[in-house]
Amino acid sequence: MIISVIARNTFKEAVRDRVLYLLLFFSALSIVLARVLAILTVGDRVKVVKDVGLASISFFGALMAILIGTGLVYKEIEKRTIFTLISKPIRRVEFLLGKFFGLVLTLAVMLGAMSLIFLAVVFLHTFQVEFGLILAVVFIFLELVLLTAVAVLFSCFSTPILSSLFALSFYLIGHFSWSLETLIKRTPAGATRTIIQIIYMLLPDLENFNIKTEVVQNLPLPSGIWLGAFGYGVVYTAFILLLAVLVFRRRDFI
Amino acid sequence: MRKPKLFLPAIVLSLAAIAGLKLHLDGLPRVKTPGAGIVYVPTGPYVKAASFGYASFLADVIYVWAIQYYSNPKITNRFDHFIRIFGIIADLNPHWFDPYEVAALIAQDDAGDPELAIKVLEDGAARNPDQWFFPFSAGHYVRDKLKDPDRAKAYFKKTSEIPGAPELAKRLYADAAYKTMDYETSWATWKEVYDTATDPQIKKIASNHLYQVKSAVDIAVLKSALTRFREIRGRAAENLEELVTARLLKSVPLDFDEKEYVYDSKTGEVRTAVLFWKR
């Protein structure tokens, strides 16, 4: 109950942020302007429209999660409004989860808006609504939920600028960690390889949520990916939130 | 004290000045070296690693750029990094077929290098072994541009073995086999086409080619026997039956339509009574 009240208020606060609308505007612009890039191509133009659209949703969604998420908790501390809140019978974990779910709700609304524009643009090209594209957006949303948790975690103990940098690093590492596989293959068996393997397994792998290429080109996806990626996202998000709660509980505001 | 009335003229003036300066700068003669922007082209795996989850989108961008770049004839050395650039696109999005197809066309039509086109298609085939399009196109390049039936035969054979390949691939394979004088393969393949075709037009085509292959084999046998006859008797055979009498043949072969071959004793030429496509 308390969580939902905080979430609703966080949502109301977040949707007042002009940055959000600026990002939404640029996202919509790039989705619509995908048509220009498509005109310049030779071959399947719809493929380009879909690629650009999904990339825009993913990229601007990530920016929204980072830019809004990293300031959420910090602002409460900076503006001292946190004192009003924690003086009430609200547990810190409830406060944090409320903030998190509020931002998730904001992202869901924004992603919904971007997806509508995107699906409309695709519809104008193909005259059909493709279920696969909606699935790709759902997976992007899963990724953004995890990124939001990371943004909230850093927001608990750092300034928005540093938190943004940390969250951005998490995002980049998440899309780069798959390359450790090559390093593992090239490292001879032994302690070093085991350490790299452990790092590889624990580092976030955001490519698990990246089904954009497969969806756009109608390529087959392994049957277990849906549940596996969903579970991975939920568990990793829960883990990051747990860390955030641990940090936030120890935080001294004075 | 601010004077809001001055803002509008100031903005208009600024925009006019910007446009004027832009026109002025564009009008200045500057030495431009088309394509000089390419100093370093990274390899595909590096670009993929740096795409951070946007590999497909990045492939689109590089592809669109590549089309514009390779369409500019002023860049005389534009084909220097051709394989590398299209290789990057392939690394980023290996199952996107348009770039392979377009790259092959550019290599053939703009670079005038069919081998380069074939190299691109080979790369596509290696990354997409289940796609018949690549060996099929490569087969056409070697057949039509390089006039190499041996390689064409290999490509069309590969094509016809891939599920979903057009039935035409088998016919092209049979034709290429005929051109390499592999009559046995050509006969067997045309026979298969003939036996399995449901379209009367295809059946007719296969029948014509069976006629052609049989004629080629028979005429080769007859010519060999005629040469041997001349060596033994010191003269040309009067007719083909003489080859049987001289025990050089068990019987005079007949064409696919059970008709006799036409022999000209003066020139020594043997031919079919009709042209195979006019049957």
ipTM of the complex: 0.78
Domain assignment of residue B27, yes or no:
no
Contact (Cβ atoms closer than 8 angstroms) between residue B133 and residue B163: no
Confidence of residue B10 (pLDDT cuts 50, 70, 90): confident
Q: How far apart are CA B117 and CA B83, in angstroms?
A: 10
Domain assignment of residue B233, yes or no:
yes
Q: What pLDDT score was predicted for residue B170?
A: 95
- Do B54 and A55 count as a contact with CB atoms less than 8 A apart? yes
A82 or A91, which is more confident?
Answer: A91
Interface of B with A in 144-173 (CB under 8 A): none
- Do A37 and B61 count as a contact with CB atoms less than 8 A apart? yes
From B128, B154, B189, the end of a domain falls on B128
For residue B143, pLDDT beyond 80: yes
Averaged pLDDT for residues A120-130:
91
Domain assignment of residue B10, yes or no:
no
Q: What pLDDT score was predicted for residue B34?
A: 60
Contact (Cβ atoms closer than 8 angstroms) between residue A7 and residue A95: no
Predicted TM-score (pTM) of the model is 0.78
Beta bridge partners, B271, equal B262
A49 or B277, which is more confident?
Answer: A49
Minimal CA separation from B71 to chain A, in Å: 12
- Clarify whether residues B191 and B277 are in a common domain: yes
According to DSSP, the β-strands at B262-264 and B269-271 are antiparallel
Whether the CB of A237 is below 8 Å from some CB of chain B: the reply is no
Domain assignment of residue A242, yes or no:
yes
- Clarify whether residues B118 and B202 are in a common domain: no
User: Which residue range(s) make up the domain with A23?
Assistant: 2-175+210-250
Whether the CB of B68 is below 8 Å from some CB of chain A: the reply is yes
**A149-184 as b/e: b if 16+ CB within 10 A:** bbbbbbbbbbebeebbebbbebbeebbbbbebeeee
What percent of chain B is modeled with pLDDT above 90?
63
Average pLDDT over all residues of chain B: 89
- Do A175 and B52 count as a contact with CB atoms less than 8 A apart? yes
Per residue in A214-229, pLDDT (tens digit) is 889 888 888 888 889 9
Confidence of residue B33 (pLDDT cuts 50, 70, 90): low
Per residue in B209-241, pLDDT (tens digit) is 999 999 999 999 999 999 999 999 888 898 899
Domain assignment of residue B153, yes or no:
no
Domain assignment of residue B278, yes or no:
yes
Q: What pLDDT score was predicted for residue B1?
A: 52
HSE of A26 in the Cβ direction (CA atoms, 13 Å)? 13
Per residue in A70-90, pLDDT (tens digit) is 888 888 887 788 778 777 888
Q: How far apart are CA A103 and CA A76, in angstroms?
A: 14
Q: DSSP for A3-66?
A: HHHHHHHHHHHHTT-HHHHHHHHHHHHHHHHHHHHHHHSSS-HHHHHHHHHHHHHHHHHHHHHH
Chain A positions touching B52 (Cβ under 8 A) are 171-172, 175-176
Tokens matching residue B39: 């100093």
Lowest mean pLDDT among A29-38, A94-103, B70-79, B115-124: B70-79
Q: What pLDDT score was predicted for residue A2?
A: 86
Domain assignment of residue A200, yes or no:
no
Domain assignment of residue A191, yes or no:
no
User: Which residue out of B46, B56, B58 would a mutagenesis test of the A interface target, given it has the greatest number of A Cβ atoms within 10 Å?
Assistant: B56
Whether the CB of A54 is below 8 Å from some CB of chain B: the reply is yes
Q: What pLDDT score was predicted for residue A76?
A: 80
- Clarify whether residues B202 and B271 are in a common domain: yes
Domain assignment of residue B243, yes or no:
yes
Q: How far apart are CA A225 and CA A245, in angstroms?
A: 29
Chain A positions touching B63 (Cβ under 8 A) are 41
Minimal CA separation from B64 to chain A, in Å: 5
Q: What pLDDT score was predicted for residue B32?
A: 64
Per residue in B36-76, pLDDT (tens digit) is 566 677 888 888 888 888 999 999 999 999 998 898 888 88
Query: CA A228, A230, A236, A242: dihedral to nearest 10 degrees?
Result: -130
- Between chain A and chain B, how many beta carbons pairs sit less than 8 Å apart? 62
For residue A21, pLDDT beyond 80: yes
- Do A216 and B52 count as a contact with CB atoms less than 8 A apart? no
What percent of chain A is modeled with pLDDT above 70?
99
Domain assignment of residue A194, yes or no:
no
What percent of chain A is modeled with pLDDT above 90?
48
B276 or A49, which is more confident?
Answer: A49
Tally the domains of chain A.
1
Per residue in B163-209, pLDDT (tens digit) is 999 999 999 999 999 999 999 999 999 999 999 999 999 999 999 99
What percent of chain B is modeled with pLDDT above 70?
95
Domain assignment of residue B119, yes or no:
yes
Q: What pLDDT score was predicted for residue A74?
A: 82
Q: How far apart are CA B64 and CA B81, in angstroms?
A: 16
Distances (CA, A) of B51 to A144, A205, B83: 18, 14, 20
For residue B117, pLDDT beyond 70: yes
Domain assignment of residue B133, yes or no:
no
For residue B86, pLDDT beyond 90: yes
User: Which residue range(s) make up the domain with B51?
Assistant: 39-128
- Do A42 and B67 count as a contact with CB atoms less than 8 A apart? yes
Amino acid at B213: V
For residue B3, pLDDT beyond 60: no
Confidence of residue A250 (pLDDT cuts 50, 70, 90): confident
Whether the CB of B71 is below 8 Å from some CB of chain A: the reply is no
B4 or A108, which is more confident?
Answer: A108
Tally the domains of chain B.
2
DSSP letter for B261, please.
Answer: P
Q: What pLDDT score was predicted for residue A63?
A: 94
Contact (Cβ atoms closer than 8 angstroms) between residue A44 and residue A125: no
